[in-house]
Chains A and B, each alone.
Chain A
Amino acid sequence: MRNIIRAIGVMGLLLVVGCAKYHGVLFAEHTHFGVQIKLSPTDDKPVDVNMGYDRGIFTVVPRTTQGAEASSVLSKTDLKVSFKEQGEVNNVFAAGDAARVITGAPPKEEVDKTLAPAAASTGAAKRMKALFDAPKEMK
């Protein structure tokens, strides 16, 4: 995990410093649940035990235009852990118009006019409910 975060950090730094003209979203996420044991006798930390939940997100999200909001990115994780019954994992990542539409906003008009009516309908509220009520619905 530490190596991944380190690599991602280096990548982000390179991207920001070396590629200032890159217009896009950099998103890196790591989610872990359970037990992880690493033995590294030559390291200064020879034993690394990670038990439980671990999540890290590194992201660089540009504005769509100066003074505007950040670009649309959505990341959602639901975990239900039980030793008596089934455990459940639900992880969703979305970006761009897909993320906008999921959260209730209509897609930008110039993108796809055919989608606007569906997205602008009251169904958007239900999609939001489906998105955020999911953990409560878990039995």
Chain B
Amino acid sequence: MRWKAAVLVMSLAAGCCAIPHDRLLFLEESHVGLIVKVSPSDAAAPADVDFGYRRSILTLTPQKNADLDTSAAQPKDYDYGEPLSVISAFRAKVGWFSNTEVHTYFATGRAATNTASDEDAIKQLMAPTGETKP
């Protein structure tokens, strides 16, 4: 993923106020393992080695009633509500000489709220990988 480019695009979008209130923007990058980048032609950064775990999240989550604000000035005590629902989970179990497990989960809206309301589902997301049900 072109992480920096994506961040730049979102920065420009945010700077120009182009992000509508009815959209949830979510950008995620997860990495487990080894990345080696060698760019001899790039004098500024000829080598980049990354070994391990890396996760980056960038999200713009509007509040539920935020779009109503554009039509007219709202009173100071106007309730914009909670942000739109989103759940993103990443779980990995990595061994040198054993199986590697990677589990990801992403949900928005009612799916996310339903997941949060399901005790078993939350346990699946939160508990260690070894205790997940098949």
Q: Is the CB of B88 within 8 A of A28?
A: no
A residues 66-104 with Cβ under 8 Å of B? 66-68, 71-73, 76, 78-80, 83, 85-102
Kindly supply a per-residue 1/0 record for chain B positions 35-59, scoring 1 wherever the CB is within 8 Å of any chain A CB and 0 otherwise: 0000000011111111111111111
Interface residues on A, range: 35 or more
Q: Is the CB of B86 within 8 A of A18?
A: no
How many residue-residue contacts, CB under 8 A, span A and B? 274
Q: Is the CB of B129 within 8 A of A131?
A: no
Q: Chain B residues near A67: list those with CB within 8 A.
A: 77
C-alpha spacing A134/B125, complex, angstroms: 10
Q: Is the CB of A8 within 8 A of B90?
A: no
**Contact partner of B91 among A90, A131, A139, CB < 8 A?**
A90
Q: Chain B residues near A112: list those with CB within 8 A.
A: 110, 113
Q: Chain B residues near A21: list those with CB within 8 A.
A: 17, 69-70
Q: A21-B69, A108-B82 are in contact. Are A101 and B116 (CB under 8 A)?
A: yes
Q: Is the CB of A31 within 8 A of B93?
A: no
Q: Chain A residues near B32: list those with CB within 8 A.
A: 89
C-alpha spacing A38/B11, complex, angstroms: 25
Q: Chain A residues near B76: list those with CB within 8 A.
A: 66
Q: Chain A residues near B8: list those with CB within 8 A.
A: 7
Kindly supply a per-residue 1/0 record for chain A positions 33-76, scoring 1 wherever the CB is within 8 Å of any chain B CB and 0 otherwise: 11111111111000000000000000000101111100111001
A residues 3-27 with Cβ under 8 Å of B? 3-4, 7-8, 10-11, 14-15, 18-19, 21-27
Q: Is the CB of B130 within 8 A of A139?
A: yes
Which B residues form the contact surface with A (CB < 8 A)? 3-4, 7-8, 10-11, 14-17, 19, 21, 32, 43-66, 69-70, 76-96, 98, 107, 110, 112-119, 122-123, 125-131
Which A residues form the contact surface with B (CB < 8 A)? 3-4, 7-8, 10-11, 14-15, 18-19, 21-43, 62, 64-68, 71-73, 76, 78-80, 83, 85-102, 107-108, 111-112, 115, 118-119, 123, 126-127, 130-131, 134, 137-139
